[in-house]
Structure 1
Amino acid sequence: MDTEGAGLMLTLLSFVVGFSLLVFIHEWGHYSVARLFGVRIDSFAIGFGRELFGWTDKRGVRWKFCMLPLGGYVKFHGDQSAASNPGAVEGLSEEERKDCFHFKPLWQRALIVFAGPAINLIAAAVVFAGFYLTYGITVAEPVVATVQPDSAAEQAGMLPGDRILAVSGETVERFTDIGSLVRLYPGRETTVLVERDRTPIALTVTFGTRYLEDRFGNRYPYGILGVASGPATRVTLGPIEALAEGGRQTVSMIQSIFITLGQMVMGIRSIEEVGGPLRIVTMTGDAAAQGLENWIWFLALISINLGVVNLLPIPVLDGGHLMFYAIEALKGSPLSQRAQELGYMAGLALMLLFMVVVTLNDLQSMAL
């Protein structure tokens, strides 16, 4: 592994500690809501594979750290595996069924599953809020002060004084919103709604393309409009305003992730842009090398990605469980155990294939 940007030990330590923390937060969401609904819990694991060390608490929960620090799980009573697919639950007594996850009401099971991704998103919002509470925010009106020559904005007929109202149908409230949206559409033609002399005007804009380049020479395209704002104002926030701003930032990033995923599905973006475990390890080390605050901010970004990815409707992920529960709600009964097992096998195969692809991306990029 190339660790020119950060030392090998710092890279590995920052990743293991950071990712384990995010996994703990995710699994704590499942654990705490399960406890709230009286579910018996057999184990709480950070990592997969053979147990390195652990302990059993007075409730009989085995808390353990395992060899591969690439995830974690909470194993409920009655689970066949760490993926929470039901095992031999038919042989349980009536008393045992009372604290078994798989016999809880549908809405309780759904909340327990949803709690993991949700707490990842909430944790990220809280981290952002902490930064905004400490440093405040810089706010500028979404009004064009200058238009760069030969830019996408100039070619579309944008003028100084135009107030940008929306980009590709997404409402703009601040000047920073413009960049967050534009960067998602490199080289793409879309509509930018502006207000000029109190009159709304829809401009067709083909955004320019620039590239971010990492230290392995990988280039990641982003869109560019070519406008600048007027003077910005530094605003100090109180706790409530900071939390609201943290939530706003989190929602904005969730939208960006879904837009990017949609572009990959439609073939607009290449899957080669997706970083796998090796790239994430390296980026975590780079963030840590830049200081504690950069590392914490980066972990918040990863926490959002972890929460969103886990909500995808793929069996073995939380979203796959929620998909099964939605089907159960519609048909009035659960899918057969065989159907669920086949779903988990297909989901596992899909995730393994995805991991192979992104890992090959990593190896190829790091070999350049």
Structure 2
Amino acid sequence: PLGGFVRFKGENDPKVSGGLAAANPWVRLAVLFAGPAMNLFVGIILSAILFYNLGEPLLNHVLVKQVALNSPADQAGLRVGDLIRMVDNQEVNSVEELHSAIYANLGHPTQITYQRGDQVSVITLTPRDPPPEEGAIGIQMGYATKPISWTAAIPRGINAAYEYVRAVLSLPIRIFQGETGPEEGRLVGYKGMFDIYQEIQSPLWFFMVITISLGIGNLLPIPALDGGRIILILPEILIRRRIPPRYENVIHLVGFAMLLMLLLYINLQDFINPVLLPK
């Protein structure tokens, strides 16, 4: 899932008999789409496995997944497995709602209504300025889940992959409109990916995201990537004129050099400005 390089016979030279560059444009188009399509297919399979193994989230049941030792939540008596129902008598039906309600009360005593088994209880705690590696009250939030079958997991895996693709493609627009901060939408390199991997709870989810991201990235119309090669095939299909191979090779060479510089910049940023996941 971390990517791989494949060099086809006659990839850049149409004079090589039986090579990729000598094939008709539709064959080359199919070959170039095959790699990203497989990335997306594998991402769907990994997503379906996740749903089957972990169950379907119950989005109106906010679950306490971890409690930090000596945190406000720990001292107030919250435990792993508790369901958060209300904050200051206001219902919370999502992780986002709970997060917003907690951080709106930093430094102020706050009532938390939670359910443990069949018993509903109320505690009071004071959200703090979050210390490193912990949140304001010291819990990891998540959703309760219910088991589902393989037949139910597959369509949910497809939908989850679709929603992720849609989120990635709409990211530039959301950043431009101010809905998402630049830090949340930043590109990360190898160190950044490792930092994220250390923080997440599901390695399978991590590999699903990487795999789908590779599929999307390879389809971008950038020279040297599959998407860039696809763009250069289109004139041959639409107007029956092929870009001379020597010019095409120069375009890909320049694109590859720019990608290397971008990769270097992104990896340097991972050290200068390390990835910090929200708590």
Per the normalisation by structure 1, the TM-score is 0.48
For structure 1, the residue ranges without an aligned partner over 5 or more in a row are 1-20, 24-71, 80-85, 152-159, 161-174, 184-211, 218-231
Instruction: Assess, with a 3 A threshold, how the Cα gap between structure 1 residues 275 and 214 changes in structure 2: closer, same or farther.
Output: farther
Partner of 1:247: 158
CA distance in 1, matches of 2:25, 2:245: 16
CA RMSD in angstroms, aligned pairs only: 3.6
Higher relative contact order by CA 8 Å / sep ≥ 6: 1 or 2?
2
Identity percentage over the alignment?
Answer: 22
In terms of fraction of residues, the more strand-rich structure is: 1
- CA drift at 1:326: 2.0
Instruction: Assess, with a 3 A threshold, how the Cα gap between structure 1 residues 264 and 315 changes in structure 2: closer, same or farther.
Output: farther
CA distance in 1, matches of 2:248, 2:186: 32
Partner of 1:237: 148
CA distance in 2, matches of 1:253, 1:126: 14
Tell me which amino acid in the other structure corresponds to 1:354.
L
- CA drift at 1:346: 2.9
CA distance in 2, matches of 1:214, 1:124: 32
- CA drift at 1:240: 2.6
Task: Summarize the alignment of residues 18-33 of structure 1 with structure 2, pairs less than 5 Å apart.
Answer: 21-23=1-3
Choose from 160, 182, 187 the match for 1:270: 182
Instruction: Assess, with a 3 A threshold, how the Cα gap between structure 1 residues 303 and 77 changes in structure 2: closer, same or farther.
Output: same
CA distance in 1, matches of 2:210, 2:148: 25
Tell me which amino acid in the other structure corresponds to 1:75.
R
CA distance in 1, matches of 2:38, 2:58: 28
Choose from 259, 271, 277 the match for 1:363: 271
1:259 equivalenced with 2:259 (yes/no): no
Partner of 1:283: 196
CA distance in 2, matches of 1:346, 1:112: 22
Is the CA contact (8 Å cut-off) linking 1:260 and 1:269 kept in structure 2?
Answer: no
Is the CA contact (8 Å cut-off) linking 2:192 and 2:275 kept in structure 1?
Answer: no
CA distance in 1, matches of 2:24, 2:218: 22
Report the number of matched residues: 208
For structure 2, the residue ranges without an aligned partner over 5 or more in a row are 61-84, 101-129, 135-142
- CA drift at 1:344: 0.8
Choose from 252, 264, 279 the match for 1:344: 252
1:77 equivalenced with 2:9 (yes/no): yes
Choose from 183, 204, 220 the match for 1:296: 204
Choose from 116, 128, 131 the match for 2:47: 128
CA distance in 1, matches of 2:172, 2:132: 21
- Deviations 1:142-200, CA, capped at 9 Å, x for gaps: xxxx9989x9xxxxxxxx9xxxxxxxxxxxxxx87x96xxx9xxxxxxxxxxxxxxxxx
Tell me which amino acid in the other structure corresponds to 2:172.
L
Instruction: Assess, with a 3 A threshold, how the Cα gap between structure 1 residues 264 and 138 changes in structure 2: closer, same or farther.
Output: closer
Choose from 103, 114, 136 the match for 2:33: 114
Is the CA contact (8 Å cut-off) linking 2:222 and 2:255 kept in structure 1?
Answer: yes
CA distance in 2, matches of 1:257, 1:367: 18
Instruction: Assess, with a 3 A threshold, how the Cα gap between structure 1 residues 137 and 279 changes in structure 2: closer, same or farther.
Output: same
CA distance in 1, matches of 2:268, 2:153: 40
CA distance in 1, matches of 2:228, 2:219: 8
- CA drift at 1:340: 0.8
SS state at 2:35 partner: helix
CA distance in 2, matches of 1:331, 1:73: 31
